[in-house]
Amino acid sequence: MSQEALAYEHALRIVLDAGTRLGAEDCLVNACLGRVLAVPVTSAVDLPPFDNSAMDGFALRGDSIVPAGTELQVEGEQAAGDGMAQARTGAWDIMTGARIPDGLDRVIAVEQTERLAPSRVRLLADVIPGQNVRAAGSDVARGENLLDAGTVLQAQHVMLLAALGIAKVSVGVRPRVAVICTGRELVDDPDQALEPGQIRNSNGPFLATRLPLAGAEVVHVETVGDDADAFGSAMRRALDAGARIIVTSGAVSMGRYDFVPQALESLGAQTLFHKVAIRPGKPLLFGCLPGGALLFGLPGNPIAVAVGLRFFVEPVLREMLGLPQETPRRVRLSKPYSKKPRLRFHLKSRLHCDALGRLTVEVLDGQESYRIRPLADANAWAVVPADVDALPAGALVDVYGSGHLEGFLPCESAL
Ligand SMILES: Nc1nc2c(c(=O)[nH]1)N[C@H]1C(S)=C(S)[C@@H](COP(=O)(O)OP(=O)(O)OC[C@H]3O[C@@H](n4cnc5c(N)ncnc54)[C@H](O)[C@@H]3O)O[C@H]1N2
Ligand code: MOO
């Protein structure tokens, strides 16, 4: 296998070709948040299911306008939850959401009436046909297409599905993913004091929290030292937990303890590439394990992990979930930017929106791959291709949101 760094596009093609679409499964609507709809949803019913009142007031009927000054006998009362009622003449005391009695066709708000006697009312305003009536099917008509396949289900979809009485939806099976962090310097327990030379494991918690947001099910998380045997055992536990993708962090570069490439070989894995012409994350390794699970060996620097996840793992998750690949937005740079040629750069960036709604993207200071503070300030990734070395302020660059399922402007209110 060549040690030459592959172009990103070439490397991504290899990854996507290795990912197969998973099937669909039923999911309860109250547990479907963040899942990707596999089959479109069509409504079998009308919403609202019956004509009902938009106001507390009086329901009545008429051929055309019923004029102000009309006096009517109050014939009955209809509250939300009351069933069918037949009305012939007069007015019905009605509450918001109550079914309109059959035979009536309009509602006047109570504050536009004057009660003359317990069962007599005078209208203080004209009332037109259909006034304050929420017609059956006016929100959703039976047979209407509501949600497309590929929709990432959110609380507003749950509201709609619940209103329609839909209890289950068909969603893409979540790819099962395991996370293995390597490095004898790593400390997992936040209560444990650091010995000289030790650092806290931040890649593990990052991967374990970001992967579910990216549509994966995390089935195993483990940290091992710089020890090929311990790594091999962790890989076996990850596979036993059902992982179809294993994401490792660290030990893929040139150091004496960078044992992952060797360890993978002894596990019978096929390394499909090692090194991509990107920054950060150049030593990224991708391979296939004997049972077919995919292995992403992400370089240990935290931003190399974030880039490997966003620009390699997330695209293959899309493939497995049956989603088309993303198209970046083109956004103007707020400041000039220059970089080394021949590497594609993935830059911690922040989208800004001015008072007229114009977007610009700011490449944040502190792009080194050990610097995690700027990632916490970022809300997007700007990508500058390998063959570009300098861009003036105002140049258009490709921009991706923080995560592939989170939309382009995940925190518009915070821009
Ligand atoms: N001689 C060379 N040295 C390095 C090269 C190179 O080409 N030649 N590439 C550099 C680049 S670029 C990267 S990226 C790193 C990748 O190194 P490894 O994948 O072998 O990762 P480690 O050495 O294990 O760790 C790198 C760095 O990240 C810290 N780290 C590791 N795991 C975690 C974690 N779970 N949480 C937080 N931080 C973590 C680790 O302590 C190191 O500081 O190699 C360069 N070197
Ligand atoms: O490619 Mo490395 O991620 O720059 O530190």
Mean pLDDT of 197-223: 98
C-beta separation of 257 from 273 below 8 A: no
**Structure confidence at residue 407 (pLDDT):** 78
Closest ligand relative to 372 C-alpha: 1
pLDDT band at 412 (very low <50, low <70, confident <90, very high): very low
Give the residue whose CA is nearest to atom 10 of ligand 1: 253
The ligand 2 atom at the shortest distance from the C-alpha of residue 370 is 5
Indicate if the pLDDT at residue 361 is higher than 80: yes
Mean pLDDT of 312-337: 97
Does ligand 2 have an atom closer than 6 angstroms to the CB of 371?
no
Mean pLDDT of 142-169: 97
CATH hierarchy code of domain 52-134:
2.170.190.11
Indicate if the pLDDT at residue 414 is higher than 60: no
**Structure confidence at residue 2 (pLDDT):** 46
**Structure confidence at residue 358 (pLDDT):** 92
CA distance 254 to 231: 18
The ligand 2 atom at the shortest distance from the C-alpha of residue 303 is 3
pLDDT band at 355 (very low <50, low <70, confident <90, very high): confident
CA distance 391 to 1: 35
Q: Which CATH superfamily is domain 8-22+174-321 in?
A: MoaB/Mog-like domain (3.40.980.10)
Mean pLDDT of 157-166: 98
Q: How far is the centre of ligand 1, averaged over its atoms, from the C-alpha of 297 (Å)?
A: 11
Q: How far is the centre of ligand 1, averaged over its atoms, from the C-alpha of 205 (Å)?
A: 17
Mean pLDDT of 223-240: 96
The ligand 1 atom at the shortest distance from the C-alpha of residue 304 is 14
Mean pLDDT of 328-340: 97
What is the tens place of the pLDDT at every residue in 2-13? Answer: 468 999 999 999
Does ligand 2 have an atom closer than 6 angstroms to the CB of 369?
yes
Does ligand 2 have an atom closer than 6 angstroms to the CB of 37?
no
Q: Which residues line ligand 1 (CB under 6 A)?
A: 181, 183, 185-186, 199, 201-204, 249-255, 258, 280, 282-283, 299-302, 304, 369
**Structure confidence at residue 413 (pLDDT):** 43
CA distance 274 to 4: 8
Indicate if the pLDDT at residue 383 is higher than 70: yes
pLDDT band at 411 (very low <50, low <70, confident <90, very high): very low
Report the mean per-residue pLDDT for the chain. Answer: 95
- Residue 332 CB burial class (10 angstroms; 0-12, 13-18, ≥19): middle
Residue 333: beta bridge partners? 361
CA distance 141 to 47: 6
Report the Cα 63 to chain-centroid distance in Å. Answer: 51
**Structure confidence at residue 3 (pLDDT):** 67
In angstroms, what is the C-alpha Rg of the chain?
30
Indicate if the pLDDT at residue 210 is higher than 90: yes
Q: How far is the centre of ligand 2, averaged over its atoms, from the C-alpha of 280 (Å)?
A: 4
The ligand 2 atom at the shortest distance from the C-alpha of residue 278 is 1
Give this prediction's pTM: 0.92
CA distance 262 to 272: 14
Q: Which of 181, 201, 253, 346 to mutate to test the pocket of ligand 1 (most atoms within 8 A of CB)?
A: 253
C-beta separation of 152 from 32 below 8 A: no
> Phi, psi at residue 260, to the nearest 5°?
-60, -45
**Structure confidence at residue 158 (pLDDT):** 98
| 329-414 fold | Beta-clip (2.40.340)
Give the residue whose CA is nearest to atom 4 of ligand 2: 280
Mean pLDDT of 272-301: 97
For tokens 């009927």, the residue is: 61
CATH hierarchy code of domain 25-46+147-172:
3.90.105.10
Indicate if the pLDDT at residue 415 is higher than 70: no
What is the tens place of the pLDDT at every residue in 71-128? Answer: 999 999 999 999 999 998 899 999 999 999 999 999 999 999 999 999 999 999 999 9
Give the residue whose CA is nearest to atom 5 of ligand 2: 369
Indicate if the pLDDT at residue 208 is higher than 60: yes
**Structure confidence at residue 357 (pLDDT):** 87
What is the tens place of the pLDDT at every residue in 237-281? Answer: 999 999 999 999 999 998 888 899 999 999 999 999 999 999 999
Domain boundaries along the sequence of the chain? 8-22+174-321, 25-46+147-172, 52-134, 329-414
